Every structure is written in C-alpha cells, then in structure tokens.
Chains A and B, each alone.
Chain A
C-alpha cells in the first residue's frame, strides 16, 4: 500500500527527534507568548522555554494539562491565536458542565487533512475508492475530520453520517462504496441490517473498513472482517489534540502509528504521573508540535494503552500504540459519546430535587451499545399510578437524552438492590464485551 508522505512517515528516528525538538521549541515559545494559561503554568514551575528546553526530555518538567483545564477555559481561553485566524471550531462530545472547545487555523486544517490522508492510506484507501463516512458530522471532529482527509486523497466521499441504517445499506449497494468508516459497533449494526435485508455482503463492493470512536476488541475486528468481507484497521483520534488522524493502523494490523512528526507521545502511570517505559500500560499523554490555534502541552487523554517501539514491516518509522484498552478516568464512552457518570446524577437531581441512588450500565444488545440507567425507587420516585410512574421515567429519559445526546433506557429498581461496595454504589458498570 502506498505511504501518503513517505518522507515524513519513514524518516529516521534521529531526524525525527531533531524535528520534534525544533517544533516543540517553537510551540512552547508560542504558547508562552500567546496563552495565559500556559504562561502561568510555566511560571509556576519556573520553566522558561528559551532557557529550559534543551532536549525533548526537558518537556517532562512541565505539568500535565487535563480535560478539566480545557473545560475551565471555555470557550476560547486556551486558543493561541486571535479568533480572526480561526477558521473552524469543534467541540468535544464531553458532558462536562462546559464542553471542550477547540479551534483550527487554515494551516491546522491543512495539517489535519494530510494526517487523516495518511491514516486512510495506511488503511488501504486510494483515490479510486468510494468512501462512506458513517461518523457523525457536526460539532464533533469525527465526520468532517475524516471527510477532509478522504478528499485530500482524492477518494469519492459519501458523507452519510450516522444512523438510518437501511439507507446506509442502500447507498452502500447503489453507490458501490468500497470503504466504510464507522465505529466498530456500527459496522456490526450494518452487518446485522444486511442479514435482515437479505443482502449478500459478497455482492457489495466493500474492501476496507476504518474503525474508531470507542473501545473495541480483536474479536469484533474478526467478526467485522468475516461478515463484511473487508480488511479492518483501527485508528485513534481525540478532539483536544486534533480529531481523527492522531494515530492509525497500517494493513499489518498490529498497532496504530502515532504521527510523531506532529505529536509527542508519552505513557504515564495515571495514579502517580510517573513516565513509563515503552511496552508498559498506562495513560497516553500527548503534546502537539505544530498546532497553531489550539496547541496542547502534555494533555492527559484518559486513554489507557501501551507504546510499541518495535519496527513495523510496513516501513513507517513512527512508533505505534496498541489498542486503547479502556479509560482510566471516570469517563464512559458509549457510541462514541463521552459521559461522566457524576453529571447524570446532577440531571436526575434536577427532576425531583433529590439525588437518587443510581447506576449507569453499558450493555450491548446484539451489536448496539445501550446506556441503561438504574434508579433505586424511593418515596420521591414512586407513584401508585402507573401513568404517573411512566411520566416520571419518560421525563428522566428525555432530560438525560437532551443532555448527552443519546437516549438511555431507564429502569427503576428496588431500594437497596444496586450492588454496593463499601456502602457505595458504583456509578458505572460495563456489561459490554470486556476489552482484551
């Protein structure tokens, strides 16, 4: 498979380090000058980029940036350029009190497109492909991110976005889509729909499937490959860092190459912040090296994985990250939406003025992920009349749906029936296939 930018993706590690150092210096000089948040942080630890950054590892002196920091600078406080130079704004799916808002300059968009072009090429896409982008378009980075990269390659792009599965299948048949981009669970939903509609997947033109957006497993990959007759690659993106295109798997299917000329990656112990060795499992921390509008320094992604440094047979010299194992904070990812269980309690509390005892459960029905909210019944949440009871449940469902963007299933359960650990109910239980 052709490599999109061989001079970058295959450069020697030595040269790469020089690139990273130069770009890191420029980035730190710029954030120190332009972003008050970073200037304050740097001063607090007495770090002056011009004097204190001699080698890449000097970066380790700087504090981490968290998703909360980004939330707190809502909407534009962490931008490093005036808004006049920002040509695109995206916002994370986060359900924090404030969403995390990110911006892009014209140059950022160019970089982003070529990064996505790289991962799509790595996953088999060429200009001859018809690519069906079944990621959500809109404020989230998934849809438009992939879209621009696919256009950069010169593929024919079908921006179908998510949902309306029957129509997706029809388009896939009639437009002869050769590549599907979707979450892994949605790829399987499409496979189910094909069965239901009695469409023979062998008669489709599909060749490749590019998956991302949620934690998934090797078993799911195999299932998608067997049922859709495609080769499936994994890729990784996060809005605060860029969106899709941060790392992507090649057809070797053995981990996602991090675009190291653009991002510096570290793996840390999420508890202590200690930097871990390659191969050790920990939280992925990313520093952007060229981003202009929204650079991040040592951003804690909350995603657990390991860095693989063994050379890859594909010829790319960028190190890889293994599959994202899970989240290390309390963020729950369902259908590509990040949910903080605590916030759901805030919403439920608004309904009756009392915080109920509740638990979020992620379940997988067939291939569809579902969010179930179990609420323990109390006087406040109990009615003799069925109708009133229904209204309450409906109210909860709509309210939560409006807030997080997906409709949960609400289940009222008997008081005291939720499993307690040391007297406390675990706010989140994952009943989907365990990863690994």
Chain B
C-alpha cells in the first residue's frame, strides 16, 4: 500500500533521513520506533507532504506521492493523527470532526453518518460534542484527533506519537483503541517512542537510528531483540553489571 524507497530529507543543512526505505501492506500495523531525533517525525512529515524529500520515492497504492501537497495526500487516502494531537482548541468537538471530513464536504450525508459512527465509538465525544475541544482532557483530545483523522475515510492511518504526554493509564487506553482499529483491518503506520507498547501491537517494525533504519522485523521479534531491549526497553544493562 505504502512504499518508501531510499528517502533522503534535509532540514536546512541537517541530513535528517539518510536513505530510509519502508513499506506497509494493506491491513498491516507497522511500528516505527527510535529515540528522540532519530528521524521518526521527519518520516511522517515527508510521507504526509509537509516536507519534500531531496531524493527517493514514496508510492501510495502504486502512485508516486512525493512532492504532492498535504491536502492532496489526504485526498489520496492518508490521514495523519499528528504529534501533540493539534486539535482545533477553539472549535467545538463537532466542528473538529467536520474539519476531518473536509475532503468529503460535498457529501453531507456521509459526513453525518461518519460522525455518528465516531460518537458510537467514543461516546464521551458525543457527550462533549458542543464543548470546545480545548477543554477536553489529554486522552479525550487524542480520541478526537483519531476520530478527526478517520473522518476522511483514510486507506492508511498514520499515528505520530499518540501516547506522548499522556498518563500511563490513558496511554493504555489509547493503545487499546489502536489495537481495535487494527482488528478492524485498518492499515496503520504507528510512530512511537514507547517501543514496548508499539511493538506489542505491531505486525512489523522498523528501528530508526540517526536517520537510518538499523533493524527491521516482526513486532514480537524486535521486542525480544537484545539491541532493542537495551536501547529502548531499559533491559540488559543490569546483566552486564552482574556478570
């Protein structure tokens, strides 16, 4: 469905992505993990059209999409749940959802139906539908951000750090939502610092380090990988001391 081939992206002089390749198959959940500054968000921004790659190709459903405008990419079927949620705080919950359905604005009925579906999925949003989005809790805002992305009826859902800044209990809830989306057969690219949680629900994963992919494999395989455990799960260091 999505194919990224040897992409190089620069922020000014900083070579942020150094030949990254990855792909997501239909119905798959793929996790992208890595430390701060490894280039995770740069990949998201490159895929979603906020930054143009200097080299390399990005194909979505067989069509090249690198260099397209972000709104065109949404129209092609990629929806982003951005880092830090970035909901429209001064608009109501309902308006936020409407904004998510922007590409379908001419099909009013579909937008209403989808909105009902979102409210059924997250009843708390229905309760708060008239409230300003900025007054929601962190977890509720994340639910809203996910719902807003789903309103565009995407083929591929890209989640950028959905657990960031949330309390552990809420993080668990968010991951169970992602898990549910996965079970529904949706195609998901999940960018996370929380390597353990991400790899637990992912079919496959990529480990990014200073703009390069250094490991890739099935989710549970990576979870057990010594390097991943040491670098991202805080395991293994003790064994060195013991030895």
Q: Contacting A18 at CB < 8 Å: which of B21, B56, B211, B212?
A: B21
Q: Does A280 contact B (CB under 8 A)?
A: no
Q: Does A49 contact B (CB under 8 A)?
A: yes
Q: Contacting A22 at CB < 8 Å: which of B25, B55, B213?
A: B213
Cα A53 to Cα B5 with chains together (Å): 10
A contact residues around B206 at 8 Å (CB)? 22
* Number of A interface residues in the complex (CB < 8 A): 23
Cβ–Cβ contact B6 & A49, under 8 A: no
Cα A296 to Cα B18 with chains together (Å): 22
Cα A107 to Cα B217 with chains together (Å): 10
Q: Does B19 contact A (CB under 8 A)?
A: yes
Q: Does A21 contact B (CB under 8 A)?
A: yes
Q: Does B132 contact A (CB under 8 A)?
A: no
Q: Does A126 contact B (CB under 8 A)?
A: no
Q: Does B89 contact A (CB under 8 A)?
A: no
CB interface residues, A 18-56, toward B, < 8 Å:
18-19, 21-23, 25-26, 29-30, 33, 49-51, 53-55
Cβ–Cβ contact A51 & B216, under 8 A: no
Q: Does A166 contact B (CB under 8 A)?
A: no
Q: Mark B134-147, 1 if CB is under 8 A from A, else 0.
A: 00000000000000
Q: Does B121 contact A (CB under 8 A)?
A: no
Q: Mark B1-28, 1 if CB is under 8 A from A, else 0.
A: 0010110100000000011111101000
CB interface residues, B 137-196, toward A, < 8 Å:
none
Cβ–Cβ contact B19 & A53, under 8 A: yes
- Knowing A15-B25, A18-B21, say if A50 contacts B211 (CB, 8 Å): yes
Q: Does B225 contact A (CB under 8 A)?
A: yes
Cα A85 to Cα B212 with chains together (Å): 22
B contact residues around A54 at 8 Å (CB)? 5-6, 19, 55-56
Q: Mark B93-111, 1 if CB is under 8 A from A, else 0.
A: 0000000000000000000
Q: Does B215 contact A (CB under 8 A)?
A: yes
Q: Does B117 contact A (CB under 8 A)?
A: no
- Knowing A26-B216, A29-B212, A53-B6, say if A21 contacts B25 (CB, 8 Å): no
Q: Does B226 contact A (CB under 8 A)?
A: yes
- Chain A residue at smallest Cβ distance from B210: A50
Cβ–Cβ contact B23 & A51, under 8 A: no
Cβ–Cβ contact A25 & B21, under 8 A: yes
Cα A107 to Cα B226 with chains together (Å): 9
CB interface residues, A 309-335, toward B, < 8 Å:
none
Q: Does A105 contact B (CB under 8 A)?
A: yes
Q: Does B214 contact A (CB under 8 A)?
A: yes
CB interface residues, B 27-59, toward A, < 8 Å:
55-56
- Chain B residue at smallest Cβ distance from A29: B212
Cα A105 to Cα B22 with chains together (Å): 24
Q: Does A301 contact B (CB under 8 A)?
A: no
Cβ–Cβ contact A29 & B214, under 8 A: yes
Q: Does B221 contact A (CB under 8 A)?
A: yes
B contact residues around A23 at 8 Å (CB)? 216
A-B contact pairs, 14 of them (CB 8 A): A23-B216, A26-B215, A29-B213, A49-B19, A49-B212, A53-B6, A54-B6, A54-B55, A55-B6, A85-B226, A106-B226, A107-B225, A110-B221, A290-B217
Given A30-B214, A55-B6, 20 more A-B residue pairs with CB atoms under 8 Å apart are A18-B3, A19-B23, A21-B6, A22-B22, A22-B23, A22-B216, A25-B19, A25-B20, A26-B213, A26-B215, A26-B216, A29-B214, A30-B215, A49-B19, A51-B8, A54-B5, A85-B226, A106-B226, A107-B224, A110-B221
